[in-house]
Every structure is written in C-alpha cells, then in structure tokens.
Amino acid sequence: MSIFAIADLHLSLSKPEKNMYFVNKNWENYLDILKKNWISSISKSDIILIPGDISWCMNLSELKTDFDFLNSLPGKKILTKGNHDYWWSTQKKINATFEKNGWDFIILQHTLFETDEVIITGIKGEDYYPNGDEEQQKRYSREIIRLQLALKILLNSTNSEKKVKILMLHYPPFSFEQQTTPILEEILKHKIDYVIFGHLHDIKNRAFFNRKIGDTQFYLVSSDILNFDPIKIL
C-alpha cells in the first residue's frame, strides 16, 4: 500500500461551464491527463488523499457525474472540504449519498482514518489575517478549534505513537506574508509527520511550501502544480 495526494480537482463534468480551462489554459484536457497519470501510478490497494475543491457542484444531488468519474479511478479516496465544495453537507447526509450511489469514499471532518501503519485526520483550515475583520477572525478561530479536536482524537488513538501521522488541510497553514500562524504553531506542537494542502495555484516558489519545518514535512498538492499527477507521500 502506498499513499498519494492531489488536491483541487475542480471536477466539472456536471458543470461544464465551470471547466477550469476557461480560467487557465494550462487546464486543457486536464481530466484526460489526470486519469492517465492516476491509472499509471495508483493501484486498488493504495490510498489517495484529496484535500478539498473536489467538485464544482452546488449540492449532493448534482454530484453523480463527477463522483462516478472519481469512483472509477483505482484506490481508496479520502476527502476533506475545500472552500469551493459548495455541495458539502453534514457527514450523515454525505455518507448516505455515497452509500446510495455505491461510491467508496471516506470523508474527514476532524475525524480519523486509520490503518496499521498510519493515522489520517483533516479539516478545511482558513487563510490567516492577523488584522482581519471580525468575520475572518471568527472563521479562523473555528478552524483552530476543529484542528485541536482533530489532533486530540488522533493522538489519543490506539498506538498513535507508533503510526505515521498525517493531517489534511485545504488552506496552507502558512504563506509568504504570514510565515508563522496559530494553525502552524498548533501543528508543530503536536509533531505531525506530514501535512498536505492545496488551494494555491500558479505558485513559482514551490520549495517554500514543500519543505520540512521541525519534525513535519509539508506538501503543496494542488493538481495543476503537480501537472495533474498524484504525488506519492508514503
């Protein structure tokens, strides 16, 4: 078993008018490229982490075409929410939709997915604006609470000290402007092994995000930055 990651698929089979090619010509035929790369490197026994911005659909009832495509690709998919996942609902409703359609996906909302070797948790995260307005501060504070809950559950799980610990975020936990943030400090305090995130596009200095800080290796895995080729984490 290997673990791969790729974020920001921005599937638009159900919403062709939202095809990312209309925003950036680098996305031309990206689904064909993604499918070819995915099938060539990922097997049925592998795990694929997809931290957000999965589909442009607006609600669960619209997901079928996009998620039938995703479900047709090999591997166990683990999903977390992105800022454009407007279809995201309660965990109960999402799981019921997955079961109804026969989709073999796992969603993480400060919950866990475990194997004998790894523990994975995830939240959406949020951009950090230290001087932001009241609403921005509230959103960020809520994500810190969710992160603290997720990490507490992770570290209290059975044999957690012997397993590789992975955190999925959609938003990066630091930026060129804010190189230290409360979310980053929380991560480093708990010594998570790997943190993967997306959200960013057209980044030239990728090494700034793909680096080790303390005991934690960080990976920016937006699909276009990876040239639509899932990256192997473990």
pLDDT at 22: 86
pLDDT at 24: 85
Domain that holds residue 55: 3-232
pLDDT at 3: 98
| 3 state SS for the chain | CCEEECECCCECCCCHHHCHHHCCHHHCCHHHHHHHHHHHHCCCCCEEEEECCCECCCCHHHCHHHHHHHHHCCCEEEEECCCCCCCCCCHHHHHHHHHHHCCCEEECCCCEEECCCEEEEECCCCCCCCCCCHHHHHHHHHHHHHHHHHHHHHHCCCCHHHCEEEEECCCCCCCCCCCCCHHHHHHHHHCCCEEEECCCCCCCCHHHCCCEECCEEEEECECCCCCCCCEECC
Provide the number of structural domains found in the chain. 1
Which CATH number do you get for residue 165? 3.60.21.10
Tens-digit pLDDT string for the chain (234 aa): 999 999 999 999 999 999 998 888 889 999 999 999 999 999 999 999 999 999 999 999 999 999 999 999 999 999 999 999 999 999 999 999 999 999 999 999 889 999 999 999 999 999 999 988 999 999 999 999 999 999 999 998 888 889 999 999 999 999 999 999 999 999 999 989 999 999 999 888 899 999 999 999 999 999 999 999 999 999
pLDDT at 88: 97
Its pTM stands at: 0.95
